[in-house]
């Protein structure tokens, strides 16, 4: 069902990636997220696909993609994401008895809150994680992942080799007769 939902939105996602990429490169302000929401979503994205020996969702600019997507075609999901981010902040402040928002917590504490959120609010978790992944592995030609970070993580090769399959249509070129084995 999730695949059908994503396939239906493919053209819109490509357009969103282009706008998100422009915002990311130019360092523009967020159009949908508040500064706090953007920081929290970016921290969430960095825990979903963390930076280790390879770049992660933060370096790919997934937060810019999500900001643009939630302000345009996926605006119906904005309340779900906003509520989920607010609940993550509530968990952060109540767990530590402090005013520290989710983005300011150490990664281990963020992981604990994300795990609790996944169980308590699976709808938010699913959509937020999907936005992170779409922002990470989108086609760079449409402004998706910066420097093809996501493609590198997947092992996707961007250089294509097109070699025609040899068969019946080129047998005259190779001097083979019909029935000689080349067309079987």
Q: For residue range 90-103, list pLDDT tens digits in order.
A: 988 886 666 789 99
Please give the mean pLDDT across all residues of the chain. 78
| Residue 127 neighbours by CB under 8 Å, 6+ apart | 77, 80, 81
The answer to pTM > 0.85 is: no
Q: How far is CA 35 from CA 11, 98, 168, in A?
A: 28, 20, 62
SS3 34: coil
Torsion of CA 74, 76, 82, 85, to 10 degrees: -60
Least confident of 36-40, 111-115, 124-128, 150-154: 150-154
Number of separate helices (H) and strands (E) present in the chain: 9, 0
Torsion of CA 73, 43, 152, 148, to 10 degrees: 50
Residue 95 has a pLDDT of 67
């Amino acid at each position: 069902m999730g695949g059908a939902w994503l396939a239906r939105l493919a053209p819109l996602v490509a357009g969103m990636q282009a706008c998100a990429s422009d915002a990311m490169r130019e360092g523009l302000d967020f159009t949908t997220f508040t500064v706090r929401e953007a920081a929290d979503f970016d921290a969430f994205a960095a825990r979903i696909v963390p930076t280790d020996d390879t770049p992660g969702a933060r370096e790919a600019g997934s937060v810019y993609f999500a900001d643009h997507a939630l302000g345009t075609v996926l605006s119906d999901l904005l309340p779900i994401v906003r509520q989920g981010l607010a609940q993550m902040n509530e968990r952060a402040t109540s767990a530590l008895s402090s005013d520290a928002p989710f983005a300011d917590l150490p990664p281990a504490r963020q992981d604990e809150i994300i795990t609790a959120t996944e169980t308590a609010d699976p709808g938010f978790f699913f959509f937020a994680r999907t936005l992170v992944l779409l922002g990470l592995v989108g086609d760079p030609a449409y402004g998706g992942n910066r420097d093809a970070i996501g493609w590198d993580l997947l092992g996707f090769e961007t250089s294509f080799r097109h070699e025609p399959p040899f068969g019946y249509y080129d047998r005259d070129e190779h001097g083979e007769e019909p029935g000689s084995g080349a067309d079987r």
